[in-house]
Structure 1
Amino acid sequence: MEGPGDPGAPAARWKRHIVRQLRQRDRTQKALFLELVPAYNRLLEKAELLARFSEKLQPEPDDVTPAVHQGPWEKESDQGLSPAALRVKWQEEAEGLRLVCGEMAYQVVEKRATLGTLESQLEERQSRLAALKARVEQLEEARAKEAGQVHARRALNEEQRAAYEALRARVGHQEAALRKLEEEARDLLERLVQRKARAAAERNLRIERRERAKQARVSQELKKAAKRTVSISESPDTLGDGVREEAETLVLAAKPGSLESEAGEKWKRPFRSASATFLTVSRCVDVVKGLLDFKKRRGHSIGGAPEQRYQSIPVCVTARLPTQAQDVLDAHLSEVSAVRFGPNSSLLATGGADRLILLWNVVGGRLKANQTLEGAGGSITSVDFDPSGSQLLAATYNKAAQLWKVGEAESKETLSGHTDKVTAAKFKLTRHQAVTGSRDRTVKEWDLCRAYCSRTINVLSYCNDVVCWDHVIISGHNDQKIRFWDSRGPRCTQVIPVQGRVTSLSLSHDQLHLLSCSRDDTLKVIDLRVSNIRQVFRADGFKCGSDWTKAVFSPDRSYVLAGSWDGALYIWDVDTGKLESSLRGPHSAAVNAVAWCYSGNHVVSVDQARKVVLWH
């Protein structure tokens, strides 16, 4: 017997396989003929027997003895019969055998037909079996191929899973590092805020000490002045006109009944009357203090340390109504949304969705490019000059306001802290303070010296524009309300409802009237002295083109100006409330903003089609 390592083992195996297949074929084919072959053998035996009977039954003429016809196969009962009877009997048996043979032949034919049918069925089944075997082989090949692909996919998945796990571990490390850096940044910010707060407290303490020292000096001077004898000559050249008028007014008010008797002597004699001395000296000191405070507001401190002086703003007595376009420019790369004149009326700033602020000089009725301010992080929504005209503040869509110094192309400071688009940014009366409004429902006050948010005001609606003066901040909102805030108090001091979402606010130069523009396609003038709406302006065809459409007062507060969705400019008379004029022509798209220079000679309008138009 061959072992597993014998070289003849494979040959023995396929020989056994052939034998098994032959036996299987014999079993399957033999079963089809098991009944037919024995039946056919029986039929042959009967046919042979019948042939023998027929030979025995044939008569022989020469042999008439009965012994010839006897044989071992004949029965004893037939021995006594006559030949004729035997012939008849065997003819009957032969006829029966012929019938049996016919039946057997018919059965053979039927069996052959059945055999043919079975053979055809066998061939058909064998062909089907071959087709199925071929199909099985194809499926086996496909299964092997799919198994290979599955194996490759599993290997690839394992590689990707390993890469994912490594990436997740790396992300986890980076997140931990980021959290650590954020904590360090918060700690640094807290320390910075605390340091700035301490510095501010120390600065406030020093200022308070100086104020106390100044008040003490003024008090001592007042005490000395109250004890001093005052002599006034007839031609006091040393006193100013204002002091002399104050003194004369107080003396007249103090002694109205004795004017005629003392008219010739009041400038000659010295006096020590307590009431007269108190009135005259106190009023003189008040006037001097007023002059000192005025000098301080103009840029000088009490100690005389010089500070930067603001340029004087031209005073407009009568504004000129624009009648025609003098210059039309495609200034920006996309929509222009903000425009503002500088305090000297010759410098103009425009800002748009291209994140650029362009400075222009108004020379000879034309706009000449001066400078491009870059570095804005988003679309410009508002621009404003400080009172000196040396700095420019812009609100942007990148959740911040940015500060530039005129003459420098890069941004000087970024005021970040809002969580949504900043829609307005305005300077207060000093160059070191500013106010911003945003769509995050907050209004913020900023200390520009430290780039620090000194106060955050939470509001219930989007803020679209702000204006401010002294300690008052006015904000216009999406909920159709104008709110007033005091910088020294925590709460809203007043709310004035208007019809329509507020798109812009403009404060008159005398700070007594407020102009609002809203989406109900009206402009309203509010008298701030009585806090009510004084005038409402409408016109056929006028319609606000967007939520940031800007309207302005003329410098003399005689007119209001706004741009419409169809590119026209509308001017109303404040006193009569009537439409003064409407200007059409250069603009083919909605006008976003307008500006009226402080001298009253020029108007500039900007639109959504990149145009900047100078009107005269």
Structure 2
Amino acid sequence: MLCDTSPLPRVTTAILGMHTDEVWNMEWSHNGQYLASASKDKTAIIWQVEHDKDPSVREIFPKHILREHKFPVGCVAWSPKDDYLLTASENEIRLWDVERGTCIARDVDYHSELVTALAWLPDNAQFISGGLDQKIIIWDLDCKPRDSWSYCPIRVMDLTLTPDFSRVVAIGMYDVVPEVPPVPTPPENGVPQARPTTENRVIVYDLATKQPETFISTEGELTSVKISLDSRCALINSSAPRTSPGEIILYDLELKQIVRKFTGHKQSRHVIRGSLGGYDGNFLASGSEDGIVYIWHRDSGKLLEALAGHGSGSVNSVAWNPHNVRMLASCSDDKTIRIWEAPPSVASGAPVNSAEPAEPATYEQDGGKGKG
């Protein structure tokens, strides 16, 4: 199958360097005008992006730096109307007013362990959280719990809603205690102890009933799940032993089977997140522990691009801009976010020899703009 790769984002047009430690996660607003980033430095930043200008002169600047977290920030989520932003730090959830940059609600009581995922319901007034404490909770805008899942057997690593809001897809670890332990463990009070083993599972829930529809056991620790725009497929990142490269699977929610696997990147220890996007959602991108951004063709599974530019450490997350399909963001252990775009002057099918423009715009901690 021939694939036009000319619209792929393969040059760096901006380097955002305001964070002072590893950048772990990020998400574009639905209108594509803002990018929220989450960092180990205990802050989240709302970046504002100008789309009506040439990339060489476009401004990307921090609208707000959200500093009230006591611990590293692990996840962010935009409300459907882009007027609120959620952040999670350890077991705390905060709700922010995007225009003012102020925290208007918070909770630290209901999750007893790390909150790993946040997702909004379509009414713009309720959201869902998942955590390592095996809880999935529905909240209101006061950060008060309104409902919860009665059955969640996994330590949730990530969850998301399908775009048609019919399902919740959760991934995580399931502890299994065998009836007869394969290796005896030291007894306590004279009773032999079974050694628990861990399975990695995907659970698909019906959102209306909160009941599970599908259970899938997989190899490798699952770290991220994203859903295609047609609500048909789930893109799942999973780690592998250091002797293996790791893989990304595309799971068909209707057929209830894996339809494609993507390899070429490296993931054995870290939480790495992928993203579906580009024209008609035909491409997927992922970070990698080797500091490279990888892009594949969704239908063929062919690896199309390996974008170098980040410094040492992992590229932890990537995100396609929903407003501009030629734009991709990536964040890294090197404390930066890179904005990648398709070269505007390249004709369809013409080769591009560099993943780095002459002078990408850089934005440093003092708020100034310079050149890389």
Fold match, TM over 0.5?
A: yes
Match of 1:392 in 2: 85
1:473 deviation in Å?
Answer: 1.1
Match of 1:499 in 2: 219
Tell me which of 113, 117, 125 is aligned to 1:432: 125
Match of 1:322 in 2: 9
CA distance in 1, matches of 2:6, 2:82: 21
Matched, 1:532 2:252: no
Tell me which of 481, 486, 489 is aligned to 2:201: 481
CA distance in 1, matches of 2:119, 2:310: 29
Which amino acid in the other structure matches residue 392 of structure 1? L
List runs of 5+ in structure 1 lacking aligned partners: 1-317
User: Per chain length, whose mean CA-contact separation is higher, i.e. which structure has more relative contact order (CA < 8 Å, sep 6+)?
Assistant: 2
1:546 deviation in Å?
Answer: 4.3
Q: Percent identity?
A: 23
Matched, 1:571 2:295: yes
Matched, 1:414 2:101: no
Matched, 1:561 2:285: yes
Larger fraction in helix:
1
Q: Deviations over 1:386-434 (max 9, x none)?
A: 111111111221x122111102232111134100011111112231121
1:339 deviation in Å?
Answer: 0.8
Q: Deviations over 1:572-609 (max 9, x none)?
A: 11111110111112332201111110121211111112
CA distance in 2, matches of 1:406, 1:319: 35
Larger fraction in strand:
2
Deviates more, 1:409-418 or 1:381-390: 409-418
Match of 1:95 in 2: none
After TM superposition, the structure 1 = structure 2 runs for residues 232-311 of structure 1, keeping only pairs within 5 Å, are none
Asked if 2 retains the 8 angstrom alpha-carbon contact of 1:519 and 1:547, the reply is yes
Which amino acid in the other structure matches residue 497 of structure 1? S
CA distance in 2, matches of 1:448, 1:529: 33
1:457 deviation in Å?
Answer: 4.2
Return closer, same or farther for 1:532/1:319 CA change in 2, 3 Å cut-off.
farther
Matched, 1:355 2:355: no
Asked if 2 retains the 8 angstrom alpha-carbon contact of 1:447 and 1:454, the reply is no
CA distance in 2, matches of 1:491, 1:400: 26
Match of 1:401 in 2: 93
What secondary structure, in the 3-state scheme, does the structure 2 residue paired with 1:489 have? coil
Which amino acid in the other structure matches residue 597 of structure 1? N
TM-score by length of 1: 0.46
CA distance in 2, matches of 1:490, 1:453: 14
CA distance in 2, matches of 1:326, 1:581: 17
CA distance in 2, matches of 1:483, 1:589: 31
CA distance in 2, matches of 1:456, 1:355: 29
After TM superposition, the structure 1 = structure 2 runs for residues 5-44 of structure 1, keeping only pairs within 5 Å, are none
Asked if 1 retains the 8 angstrom alpha-carbon contact of 2:310 and 2:334, the reply is no
Asked if 1 retains the 8 angstrom alpha-carbon contact of 2:106 and 2:142, the reply is no
Which amino acid in the other structure matches residue 322 of structure 1? P
CA distance in 2, matches of 1:609, 1:576: 32
Q: Deviations over 1:346-396 (max 9, x none)?
A: 211111112211111223435222211232242111111111111111122
Tell me which of 238, 261, 277 is aligned to 1:518: 238
Asked if 2 retains the 8 angstrom alpha-carbon contact of 1:373 and 1:408, the reply is no
Asked if 1 retains the 8 angstrom alpha-carbon contact of 2:167 and 2:204, the reply is yes
Asked if 1 retains the 8 angstrom alpha-carbon contact of 2:310 and 2:332, the reply is no
Q: Deviations over 1:301-334 (max 9, x none)?
A: xxxxxxxxxxxxxxxxx99311111112322111
> Which of structure 1's runs of 4+ aligned residues deviate more than 6 A?
none
CA distance in 1, matches of 2:71, 2:206: 30
Asked if 2 retains the 8 angstrom alpha-carbon contact of 1:432 and 1:449, the reply is no
Matched, 1:548 2:235: no
Matched, 1:606 2:319: no
1:545 deviation in Å?
Answer: 6.0
CA distance in 1, matches of 2:143, 2:42: 25
Count the aligned residue pairs.
Answer: 296
After TM superposition, the structure 1 = structure 2 runs for residues 365-376 of structure 1, keeping only pairs within 5 Å, are 365=55, 366-376=59-69
After TM superposition, the structure 1 = structure 2 runs for residues 213-228 of structure 1, keeping only pairs within 5 Å, are none
Return closer, same or farther for 1:519/1:346 CA change in 2, 3 Å cut-off.
same
Return closer, same or farther for 1:419/1:449 CA change in 2, 3 Å cut-off.
closer
Return closer, same or farther for 1:545/1:604 CA change in 2, 3 Å cut-off.
farther
Return closer, same or farther for 1:590/1:450 CA change in 2, 3 Å cut-off.
closer
Asked if 2 retains the 8 angstrom alpha-carbon contact of 1:474 and 1:484, the reply is yes
Match of 2:345 in 1: none
CA distance in 2, matches of 1:375, 1:450: 16
Which amino acid in the other structure matches residue 559 of structure 1? F
Return closer, same or farther for 1:457/1:436 CA change in 2, 3 Å cut-off.
farther
Which amino acid in the other structure matches residue 430 of structure 1? D
CA distance in 2, matches of 1:578, 1:614: 23
Larger radius of gyration between Structure 1 and Structure 2: 1
Which amino acid in the other structure matches residue 476 of structure 1? I
Matched, 1:341 2:48: no
Which amino acid in the other structure matches residue 528 of structure 1? L
What secondary structure, in the 3-state scheme, does the structure 2 residue paired with 1:488 have? coil
Asked if 1 retains the 8 angstrom alpha-carbon contact of 2:154 and 2:201, the reply is no
CA distance in 1, matches of 2:274, 2:143: 32
CA distance in 2, matches of 1:391, 1:457: 28
Match of 2:160 in 1: 467
1:443 deviation in Å?
Answer: 1.7
CA distance in 2, matches of 1:615, 1:396: 28
Which amino acid in the other structure matches residue 605 of structure 1? S
Asked if 2 retains the 8 angstrom alpha-carbon contact of 1:422 and 1:439, the reply is yes
Tell me which of 324, 327, 332 is aligned to 2:19: 332
1:335 deviation in Å?
Answer: 1.2
Match of 2:243 in 1: none
Asked if 2 retains the 8 angstrom alpha-carbon contact of 1:375 and 1:410, the reply is no
What secondary structure, in the 3-state scheme, does the structure 2 residue paired with 1:411 have? strand
Match of 1:121 in 2: none
List runs of 5+ in structure 2 lacking aligned partners: 174-198, 241-245, 342-372
Asked if 2 retains the 8 angstrom alpha-carbon contact of 1:562 and 1:593, the reply is yes
Q: Deviations over 1:54-104 (max 9, x none)?
A: xxxxxxxxxxxxxxxxxxxxxxxxxxxxxxxxxxxxxxxxxxxxxxxxxxx
Return closer, same or farther for 1:426/1:545 CA change in 2, 3 Å cut-off.
farther
Which amino acid in the other structure matches residue 360 of structure 1? W
